[in-house]
Amino acid sequence: MTKSQRLFEEAVKVVPGGVNSPVRAFGSVGGTPPFIKRARGAYIYDEDENGYLDFVGSWGPMILGHGHADVLNEVHKACEGGLSFGAATAAEVEMAQLICALVPSVEMVRMVNSGTEAVMSAIRTARGFTGRDKIVKFAGCYHGHADGLLVQAGSGVMTAGVPDSLGVPVGCAKDTLSAEYNNLQSVKERFERCGEEIAAVIVEPVAANMGVVPPAPGFLEGLRKVCDRYGALLIFDEVITGFRLGIDGAQGYYGVTPDLTTFGKIIGGGMPVGAYGGRRQIMELVAPLGGVYQAGTLSGNPVAMAAGIAQLTILQEHPDYYEELNRKGDWFFGQIQRLLEEKGKPWQVNHVGSLGCLYFTGRHVGNYQDAKASDTKIFAEYFKHMLAQGIYIAPSQFEAMFLSIAHTQDMLGKALEGIASWLSQQAETE
């Protein structure tokens, strides 16, 4: 028995399912998860010292790779000063100034502790600003585990066998209206029915919790127009796309300006942190300046701020990194599609820049229903093969693959060899 297997046996006795987040579970693919001990560059290593080429990257924030020397140096210096104060620090100011400088739509920003907190707080702020209660979200888009947002959520919910969640009172979700991603007409219908009651539309500009689903041409622009027409706010959930598709996120990549934006752990170099921000007129409603309450002792934690400032500064100073990442992504995901076509497989690859997903379905994946058509049994076989080859991808059909600056052409070639060998095995068994 491996150390990871022994740890899992102990974990299930004291942790629900043996994991502290459902997306880490191997329930949909079988087996037990490797317990990770350390990471460096593009590799992670488990308790048995097995190395894996990592395409999860802590679910996106490790855009520079694991253990970047400059980031670690700033973290070490911050730790020497103290781990937490629950008081204002200079690092918080520097981080806020940096985000506002990099993302033009953000004039004021509030630090929180996670993407879930950021989204929850942004929605509360939108409701406070508009005086309205209802929000529109999209089926398959995941915005954290706040009660009112677990309505047709994506991500781990899609493989957990739970349609939404137990324990969520009906009243918490009654003001959440669900529309179809990439279907602007479905959004217009919600507004035609109760537009004067809708505070905001919240959207992942690239849906990355049902795999990777890019926005159709005109979709994001259409959302902006609908919100403007009815006086609702447009919230971009950039927990995944923020500072990954470009230094100004998906909003810069697609040229669409939201009213509020949420960010996740990429602004902490992978440490627990989040933020939400937007137009000054809206953010001035946040306490203590205004009547929209939000608080947190650990918000703006000095160690997380140090890591985030280091990472964002590196990205700011190296715009060529984004060109490199997007070039790698175009080549890598394009090569996966080529391999599929060579083997006569109808399966689909979706990608935007350094984000991508292989779907085991023959239909174009443009929304939640399309994504759910993917064959999760085939995915489980594919996942096990890749893991055995030392290639670590998310244990769910409905998660993204993330590339980092640390991934070299040779490393990507190794991953392609793993996919090719699996496809050959598939052909032999048919």
Q: pLDDT tens digits for 392-426?
A: 999 999 999 999 999 999 999 999 999 999 999 88
CATH architecture of 69-317: 3-Layer(aba) Sandwich (3.40)
Distances (CA, A) of 279 to 37, 186, 205, 237, 261: 42, 27, 18, 15, 10
Report how far residue 309's alpha carbon sits from residue 384's, in angstroms, rounded to the nearest whole number.
Answer: 37
pLDDT score of 96 more than 90 = yes
Judge whether residue 160 has pLDDT over 50. Answer: no
Mean pLDDT to the nearest integer, 90-118:
97
Confidence of residue 339 (pLDDT cuts 50, 70, 90): very high
CA dihedral 146, 111, 234, 254 (to 10 degrees): -120
pLDDT tens string 219-265: 999 999 999 999 999 999 999 999 999 999 999 999 999 999 999 99
The residue type of 185 is Q
pLDDT higher than 70, residue 130:
yes
Catalytic residue positions?
142, 237, 265
The reported pTM is: 0.94
Does residue 224 sit in helix, strand or coil?
helix
Would you say 44 and 66 are in contact if contact means Cβ atoms under 8 Å apart? yes
Q: In which residue ranges of the chain is CATH 3.40.640.10 found?
A: 69-317
Task: List, by residue range, all CATH 3.90.1150.10 domains of the chain.
Answer: 3-66+319-429
Please tell me the CATH code under which domain 3-66+319-429 is placed.
Answer: 3.90.1150.10
pLDDT in tens, 34-67: 999 999 999 999 999 999 999 999 999 999 999 9
Mean pLDDT of 374-389: 96
